[in-house]
Amino acid sequence: MKLTQHGQYLWQLTRFTAFNCYLVGEGEELTLIDTNMDGSHEGILQAAQTIGLPITRITLTHAHVDHAGSLDKVAAHLADVTVAFSPRTAEFLQGNLSLRPDEPQTKLRGGFVKRTTAVTQLIQAGDQLGSLRVVAAPGHTPDQIAFYDERDGTLIVGDAFQTKAGTAVAGITRWLFPFPAMATWHLPTALETAVTLLDLNPTRLAVGHGRVLENPAAEMDKAIQEAEAKVHAQAQAA
């Protein structure tokens, strides 16, 4: 896997040029955000070795296969690791994919996987995981959460945005990399999330698919405007 550092605390790990997970430095330890697709555990463990710090926390942005794929295998190689999921991600990983009555009853999309690694800490919006503040980020999936690094304003958003083949809000198709859009559950919710994430004034945007953006506000705003136009057009047509 390709390992690149962004700022003081963030490392991006990329597989097949398009599938990312992240390591975040916390003093002398690392937090792993997402575990990439199946077969990525060796690359992830190797990256931690290259950085020279142990992974002591694992978390997930959402339960899609390209984010949770290598969870069990990574966790099996780590002793005394904190495993922190949102309650909803924990449910999804157990195979309970039911929607809540107050949610849009739109069919879930994308590949969800069952995994057996036990959660040791449930996290929800407003909680801290080390230096990372948990932010609700539904829309791409109902369970998605993002992480805002209080130290430097880095925002790790899973698939709430993509930057591969052009920056886009989840649910807006970039034809050279359409998979995040094809796997998105509910565009209007994804749009609300995108606005909330921009309101955090991130200094750096780290996504599941595509490169890390520095000073991302203008690109996020442009992507939001495009999504707003599409949601508006869909509402008119309905």
By beta carbon distance, the residue nearest Zn ion is 64
Identify which range of 23-31, 63-71, 93-101, 121-129 contacts Zn ion by CB under 5 A.
Answer: 63-71
Mark 11-50 with x for binding to Zn ion (rule: CB under 5 A) and - for no binding: ----------------------------------------
57: contact with Zn ion by CB under 5 A: no
CB 69 within 8 A of CB 35: yes
- Tell me the closest approach of the beta carbon of residue 56 to Zn ion, in angstroms: 25
Tokens 């792993």, located at residue:
32
Of 9 and 185, which CB lies nearer to Zn ion in the complex structure? 185
Query: 77: alpha, beta or left, given left = phi > 0 and alpha = psi -120 to 50?
Result: alpha
Q: What share of the chain is helix, strand, coil (3-state, %, to 5)?
A: 30, 25, 45
- The strands making up 10-15's β-sheet, listed across from edge to edge, are 2-6, 10-15, 19-26, 29-33, 55-59, 82-85, 121-122
Tokens 């955090």, located at residue:
200
143: contact with Zn ion by CB under 5 A: no
- Tell me the closest approach of the beta carbon of residue 158 to Zn ion, in angstroms: 7
Q: How many of the chain's residues bind Zn ion (CB under 5 A)?
A: 2
Identify which range of 37-45, 62-70, 74-82, 214-222 contacts Zn ion by CB under 5 A.
Answer: 62-70
Identify which range of 4-12, 45-53, 60-68, 147-155 contacts Zn ion by CB under 5 A.
Answer: 60-68
Of 158 and 216, which CB lies nearer to Zn ion in the complex structure? 158
Candidates 170, 167, 128; CA nearest to 149 is 128
Going by the DSSP 8-state scheme, the letter that residue 17 receives in this structure is: T
**CA 104 to CA 190: how far, in whole Å?**
12
> Please, which of residues 93-122 interact with Zn ion by CB under 5 A?
none
Of 59 and 131, which CB lies nearer to Zn ion in the complex structure? 59
Alpha carbon separation from 162 to 22, 109, 133 (Å, rounded): 15, 16, 21
64: contact with Zn ion by CB under 5 A: yes
- Tell me the closest approach of the beta carbon of residue 140 to Zn ion, in angstroms: 6
159: contact with Zn ion by CB under 5 A: yes
Candidates 152, 168, 154, 149; CA nearest to 210 is 168
Interface contacts to Zn ion, rule CB under 5 A: 64, 159
